[in-house]
C-alpha cells in the first residue's frame, strides 16, 4: 500500500501544483518512508518496506522538464514491477 500524506496526515495527490519557496531532495528518513521537505510543508511517502524498495541509482532524482517544472521523482521496485511517483513544482 502506497500513500502520500502531508504533515497533518491528510492524503495528498501525487501531482502537486502548489508552489513552495524551495525543496530539499527526497530523503529516506526511515525504512518505508521518504520525505520531501519544503519551506512551508513537508510531504512524506509511506510504503511497505518489506515489499517495496527504492530503485538502485535512482533515489533521489530531481530534474526540470521542458516547461521549467521541477520534478522530484521516486521509483519503488517490487519483485520485477516498478512504481513511479513524481512531485511536480510548477514555476510561477
7-20 tens-digit pLDDT: 455 554 443 333 33
| Contact assessment for residue 34 and residue 26, using Cβ atoms and an 8 Å cutoff | yes
Which residue shows C-alpha cell 524498495?
53
* pLDDT of the residue at 20: 35
Dump pLDDT digits (tens) for 26-84: 455 566 666 655 545 555 666 666 666 655 544 456 777 788 777 766 666 666 566 66
Length of the chain: 92
Q: Is this prediction's pTM over 0.85?
A: no
* pLDDT of the residue at 67: 80
Measure the CA–CA gap between 64 and 90, rounded to whole angstroms.
10
Give strand pairing partners of 35.
27, 44
* pLDDT of the residue at 69: 73
Cell of 83: 512504481
| Contact assessment for residue 62 and residue 83, using Cβ atoms and an 8 Å cutoff | no
- Domain ranges across the chain: 3-89
Of 32, 82, 33, the residue nearest 57 (C-alpha): 82
Amino acid at each position: 500500500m502506497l500513500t502520500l500524506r502531508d504533515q497533518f496526515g491528510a492524503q495528498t495527490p501525487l501531482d502537486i501544483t502548489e508552489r513552495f519557496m524551495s525543496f530539499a531532495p527526497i530523503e529516506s528518513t526511515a525504512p518505508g518512508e521518504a520525505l520531501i521537505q519544503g519551506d512551508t510543508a513537508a510531504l512524506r511517502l509511506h510504503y511497505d518496506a518489506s515489499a517495496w524498495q527504492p530503485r538502485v541509482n535512482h533515489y533521489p532524482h530531481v530534474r526540470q522538464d521542458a516547461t521549467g517544472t521541477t520534478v522530484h521523482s521516486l521509483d519503488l521496485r517490487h519483485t520485477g514491477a516498478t512504481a513511479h511517483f513524481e512531485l511536480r513544482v510548477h514555476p510561477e
